[in-house]
Structure 1
């Protein structure tokens, strides 16, 4: 997405009494967008890389699934941790450190001699991409406070469209890179991205001390290390079970519950909790948004990984062709986001998105090894509608429902539940495509996706609090200058 396109999306009416100095500082837009897309670009590129990587190392889908789950486990843990640190210390240093780690991960992956090292590279990549999105949400909230525009739908739409644009380009770019230089080139792409991120971060992110929404200096607060450790332990043990859910591994979900209870007890007593469970527990609308996020992205990532694998192994497409077959999904999502982004209604978007996921999942039962190209295009377009609606509506929901003093960690938790959905989808792919991504496996996956989509629909219909949420005003970025937050 070009800067000119972003300005077009974000330009809106100015509120009464706001002049050019009270508009969003557009110098922040480039590092915000680049930081937020680092994870999606690696996710979408990997979608067409799993099959050639498996062939290179002689690994079945049940093993290559760790390339997906390793990335998202690291990100699910790291997003709220880094988000909380951004709440406390501001975005600049964490953004720069994360971007540098993305470059290191790209180099490790480029030189990986086996699947294990490649998984390590993906874990490093997950931690490296943790800072971009919480930093962007923190800066949006800071600018909203400065300008007086409390509902920056335009800026949030720009982030959503940027991520979807990258998702469009990712599978296509991944297929082209694999065709030109093999799967290792899909890791090498992180090197120039890291250089660009470091340059923009050093040049444009604010250096001044950051103050909280209540006026306090953030740097005086302590970091809740015991809370972070118990949170991480819960996710790690849960993932170990999900990757191979067998009856003789019953002790893993038990350990996950124990770790989760320890986490909650710790956070209730901590003077500066990593996640304020007392406030979060009293915020049912935000909890429901996180639950919807998990279910929505189970469907989205099952499509991204499972459906793409089937296109290659079940339908017989090449990596490049499978990437092109994903193009209508994300193109439709971009069109839907840019069209509906300025509209106030959030609940309506979620309802249409929920129904769209149910319909799209059901359509997968029509596919077999000889399915016509036009049917693949139709199904891809149907999947694109909920992707365009859900990501934007969920993002706006968290912005309105979260405590402003914890916007970074709340945004990080949104991504945590996003990547929990990705991990569940990856584990399902590994189980349902245990040896090969054939049509029978795709139909089993479709049942799984249909169940998640139905759960998302039920939660959305039942949640009446969504009726009070709107995205009615936007931050304007027409001024080339503005006071830094």
Structure 2
């Protein structure tokens, strides 16, 4: 028996037993807006620094600004999606991506450019939580609890964009300068908005407009405000680790304590700490995401800058060097995507991270090019396995009614890791990305990789993660 589903035009359409493939284009495009802006900037940092006279320690804010905004916005937007449905949040956020593209293209200096990256961070917040919310509503409609094929498609799409990002960035810089990497967001945003209007349902599966009064009452605005204060203070401290900024850490701790008290007493909390606190497997997944992304983003930005300044490659060739990593990641995601369980993926990913870090420690400015390609190739294994395993873990471990906000929190923890990576990169390189700096950064990455392995080895809950429904396409 099939169920009727509300289409984007408000009409009721008959749904079949399989996943509604009309949803895939906006889901995929929305979810990749953040990764393409994450990867494309990796080869633009050096040209931007040269054009604006800014050292590595200052251009690092272009990375940190996007992740600060996204870390804050993902769980907030995810919660709004849980309450209002994905359509309106998707359209508002992706529209903001276009505005950010215009601001970045016309930016007169580094400050405005950083502001554009903040707008990009908020603008790319809705894509991934919206995709996960749509997956959950389609799973309810089809009766297939975990559509493994679609989850794999999301992971592969992100990896594919990661392939294109550095190479496309190098091409755009060669043709139109670094400003072209910001201008790219304008056509992407237009396409995402049009697809959202055309394909996304007006509400996630019910066909009914939400009761605004009831939904507003369920919005925990004080909790969101305290969460924002806690996260902003913590991320600002992580972006520039120094004892003189101790007050930021104290502010984060105070806001965190107030946030916890508020959430434990609220009738409809923003983040239900009682449920989350009792969900040890999900907390462990968030912890693994944090340390995994310390390694991933330190490599993405630190290694890219070193290949340009320490090794002497052009931005275009620096993008080419990273292609083996992303091609390997795509292949690994496709091959492992339909295999049940996550423990094996996580363990293999942990070993791959450690192996790649050890090879980085052998690199010098005179190393043969094939050794750089080997590092990228080895890094492709954890890139493909970790992203897929973490995403699948959250999907099956989270409260179904909070799928979008739980997916947003996964990205928040990942971006906390990116903040640590950005701070470690800036501290390791200083004014120039030289070989000594990349070795120092590799030791930080190696420590995080070992911690990731330990968190996986000693997590007994992984064996109880439900198996994905490989047929759920």
Normalising by structure 1, we get a TM-score of 0.92
Residues 428-449 of structure 1 show CA distances to partners (whole Å, capped at 9, x for unaligned) of 1111111110000000000000
Partner of 1:425: 421
Partner of 1:177: 172
1:355 aligns with 2:343: no
Partner of 1:135: 130
1:76 aligns with 2:64: no
Residues 447-480 of structure 1 show CA distances to partners (whole Å, capped at 9, x for unaligned) of 0000111110000001111011243313544xxx
Residues 12-41 of structure 1 show CA distances to partners (whole Å, capped at 9, x for unaligned) of xxxxxxx98111000000000000000000
Deviation at 1:211? 4.7
* Residue segments in structure 1 that go unaligned for 5+ positions in a row: 1-18, 478-485
- Asked if the contact 1:39/1:126 (under 8 Å) is kept, the reply is yes
Instruction: Report which stretch shifted further, 218-227 or 91-100.
Output: 218-227
Partner of 1:200: 195
5 Å matches for 1:308-327? Answer: 308-327=304-323
- Asked if the contact 1:92/1:207 (under 8 Å) is kept, the reply is yes
- Asked if the contact 1:211/1:217 (under 8 Å) is kept, the reply is no
Detail structure 1 runs of 4+ shifted over 3 Å in the superposition.
Answer: 208-212, 215-219, 474-477
Residues 112-151 of structure 1 show CA distances to partners (whole Å, capped at 9, x for unaligned) of 0000000000000000000000000000010001101112
Instruction: Report which stretch shifted further, 238-247 or 446-455.
Output: 238-247
- Asked if the contact 1:342/1:471 (under 8 Å) is kept, the reply is no
DSSP 3-state at the match of 1:22: coil
Partner of 2:3: none
> Within 1, Cα distance between the matches of 2:468 and 2:433?
44
> Within 2, Cα distance between the matches of 1:346 and 1:460?
10
Normalising by structure 2, we get a TM-score of 0.94
RMSD: 1.6
5 Å matches for 1:247-326? Answer: 247-326=243-322
Number of matched pairs: 457
Deviation at 1:377? 1.1
**Which of 55, 64, 67 does residue 62 from structure 2 map onto?**
67
Flag the structure with more relative contact order, 1 or 2, with Cα contacts below 8 A and sequence separation at least 6. Answer: 1
Partner of 1:99: 94
Partner of 2:443: 447
Instruction: Report which stretch shifted further, 255-264 or 136-145.
Output: 255-264
> Within 1, Cα distance between the matches of 2:80 and 2:238?
29
Deviation at 1:325? 0.4
Residues 285-339 of structure 1 show CA distances to partners (whole Å, capped at 9, x for unaligned) of 1000000000001100011100100000011100000000010110000000000
1:331 aligns with 2:310: no
DSSP 3-state at the match of 1:366: coil
> Within 2, Cα distance between the matches of 1:249 and 1:137?
37
> Within 2, Cα distance between the matches of 1:418 and 1:244?
18
- Asked if the contact 2:350/2:453 (under 8 Å) is kept, the reply is yes
Partner of 2:237: 241
- Asked if the contact 1:41/1:170 (under 8 Å) is kept, the reply is yes
Instruction: Report which stretch shifted further, 222-231 or 108-117.
Output: 222-231
Deviation at 1:269? 1.1
Instruction: Report which stretch shifted further, 48-57 or 417-426.
Output: 417-426
* Residue segments in structure 2 that go unaligned for 5+ positions in a row: 1-13
